[in-house]
């Protein structure tokens, strides 16, 4: 990205966003648990607004070592932390408050974080999120820059969009970096001379388009997987996966 692109003004509906991330016990969307989470509000210039939230949660199950090595939290680190029954309702309430104010919530690979949270809510007797507007830089990236080679994780996206990622796989730093990546990506998107898809005129249009793009991405991935695994089934749904 160049300096001129980084200074482009974004539309007013991006004046304030919230950024969200979780670190978990594993990758099973229906069964794994949240260990840490972060939700912070951010201006379109990338400034963090005071008053955000950071949670450390005792998931109620052992944290596998492979997960601990990623995010740095072991069983001993969460032994005295709040239980899921306390932390999950707080997370849901804080995100719902953003949605109620019309503030878009940005999460990199949103379907992962929000599906995990969806099943955590059900598990803990909490009403799942009442969704408002979501921004997912991963879905946007795969749509507007479809043929770029290389990985599509947050680290590679941060490099692509020249965003500093100080401590990858900590919830707050990942959430903040995702916010900076998302804002830089939307600036790049708005400046494209011949975009694959039109830049959205509102947060609602962006939300609705991402749901469509996400299903298109999943269908394409399933077609590729089926070359080696003929019975592979796509899992549609965004920002919450529709699991069987």
Q: What is the pLDDT of residues 107-121, one digit of tens each?
A: 999 999 999 999 999
CATH code matching the domain that covers 3-199, chosen among 3.30.70.360, 3.30.420.10, 3.10.105.10, 3.10.180.10: 3.30.420.10
| Overall size of the chain counted in residues | 244
Q: Is 223 exposed, middle or buried (CB count within 10 Å of its CB: 0-12, 13-18, 19+)?
A: exposed
pLDDT band at 11 (very low <50, low <70, confident <90, very high): very high
| 165 phi/psi in degrees, rounded to 5 | -120, 100
CB atoms inside a 10 Å sphere around CB 134: 27
Q: In the prediction, which pLDDT does 84 show?
A: 98
Instruction: Return the minimum-mean-pLDDT range out of 45-49, 55-59, 162-166.
Output: 162-166
pLDDT band at 203 (very low <50, low <70, confident <90, very high): very high
| Radius of gyration of the chain, Cα coordinates, nearest whole angstrom | 18
Q: In the prediction, which pLDDT does 2 show?
A: 47
Locate 85 and state its tokens: 């029954």
Percent of the chain at pLDDT > 70 equals 95
Q: At what angle do helices 84-100 and 110-123 cross, to 10 degrees?
A: 130
Domain locations along the chain:
3-199
């Amino acid at each position: 990205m160049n300096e001129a692109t980084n200074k482009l003004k974004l539309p007013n509906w991006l004046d304030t966003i919230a950024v969200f991330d979780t670190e978990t016990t594993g990758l099973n969307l229906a069964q794994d648990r949240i260990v840490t989470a972060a939700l912070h509000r951010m201006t379109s210039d990338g400034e963090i607004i005071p008053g955000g939230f950071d949670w450390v949660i005792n998931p109620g199950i052992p944290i596998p070592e492979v997960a601990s090595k990623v995010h740095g939290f072991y069983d001993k680190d969460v032994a005295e932390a709040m239980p899921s029954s306390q932390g999950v309702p707080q997370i849901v309430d804080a995100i719902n408050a953003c949605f109620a104010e019309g503030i878009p919530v940005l999460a990199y690979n949103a379907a992962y974080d929000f599906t995990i949270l969806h099943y955590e809510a059900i598990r803990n007797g909490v009403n799942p999120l009442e969704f408002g507007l979501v921004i997912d830089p991963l879905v946007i990236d795969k749509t507007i820059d479809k043929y770029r080679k290389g990985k599509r994780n947050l680290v590679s996206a941060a490099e692509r969009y020249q965003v500093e990622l100080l401590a990858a796989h900590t919830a707050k730093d990942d959430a903040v970096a995702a916010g900076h990546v998302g804002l830089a990506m939307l600036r790049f998107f708005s400046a494209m001379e011949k975009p694959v898809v039109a830049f959205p005129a509102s947060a609602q249009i962006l939300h609705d388009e991402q749901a469509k793009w996400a299903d298109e991405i999943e269908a394409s991935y399933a077609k590729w997987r089926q070359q080696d695994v003929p019975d592979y089934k796509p899992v549609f749904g965004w920002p919450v996966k529709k699991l069987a």
